[in-house]
Structure 1
Amino acid sequence: MGIARLEGLLAWEAEIAAAERDARAFAEQFPWLPAAERENLERAYAADRLRYAEEVVDRAVERCRRLAARYRSECRRICARWAALCLSVTLAAALFAVVPAALRG
């Protein structure tokens, strides 16, 4: 497992723990509810928060993919321009070296 993947897994586990902690704190605001209903409220709160967090992560991943594709394309374009420039300079240098010799002799 790569470092980035492990880091992502740890971040998600931390998000789960935070969602559960916050859900408990939210449910504690309703002490008059029976314990079973407070537990249901906690589960619903945590599930909603994790669903939202997953949507945020999915949007970020998609944005990263789009940016990576754009940057790869831009890099290819820049590399092609540099290759064309280097080839042009090389050909010009070769012509400047050959033409005077051909004219002299």
Structure 2
Amino acid sequence: MGGRQRPPRARTSRRNGAPDGVGGWVNTRVEIARLEGFLAWEAEVAAAERDARAFAGQFSWLPAAERESLERAYAADRLRYAEEVVDRAVERCRRLAARYRSECRRICARWAALCLSVTLAAALFAVVPALLRG
């Protein structure tokens, strides 16, 4: 089937605008995640092409050129859908990460306030009796 479509929006592992390997260590986890994403996308492309061939094969009465056109249209439609699914999942992950970060900040602020309150209360209980005595 002709050239492959581009995977969903390329994620970058660049730091401060510098390419990988320039001005810092390459983040291995990010690179492994990028490789996994690439392999998953290639598997999706292969599956879309395989399924497109199987679908178009049902229409043996079509001329070969029209069957190939049907294959390309089927595969392109499926890859477009897969890209939308990935983009929705990525957006959902980003929203959840933002929500969890805000919750974490809120909880940390509460703990800090509680610790400060306990420390102030302990200081008052230590100082006030001494002041009252004299």
Alignment TM-score > 0.5, same fold: yes
Tell me by how many angstroms 1:7 deviates.
1.3
Q: Which has the higher contact order (CA 8 A, sep 6+)?
A: 2
Cα displacement string for residues 4-32 of structure 1 (whole angstroms, at most 9, x for unaligned residues)? 22211111111000000000000110111
Between the two proteins, the alignment pairs up a number of residues equal to: 103
**2:98 aligns with one of 58, 64, 69:** 69
Normalising by structure 2, what TM-score?
0.74
Residue matched to 2:74:
45
Cα deviation digits, residues 35-90 of structure 1 (max 9, x gap): 11111111000000000111111111111111111111111111000000000000
Structure whose CA Rg is larger? 1
Provide structure 2 residue ranges, at least 5 long, that are not aligned to the other structure. 1-31
Partner secondary structure for residue 32 of structure 1? coil
Runs of 5+ consecutive residues of structure 1 not aligned to the other structure? none
Q: Which runs of 4+ in 1 moved over 2 A?
A: none
Say what the alpha-carbon RMSD is for the aligned residues: 0.9
Question: Equivalents in 1 of 2:68, 2:105: separation in Å?
Answer: 55
- Greater helix share, 1 or 2? 1
Q: Which residue of 2 aligns with 1:102?
A: 131
Identity of aligned residues (%): 94
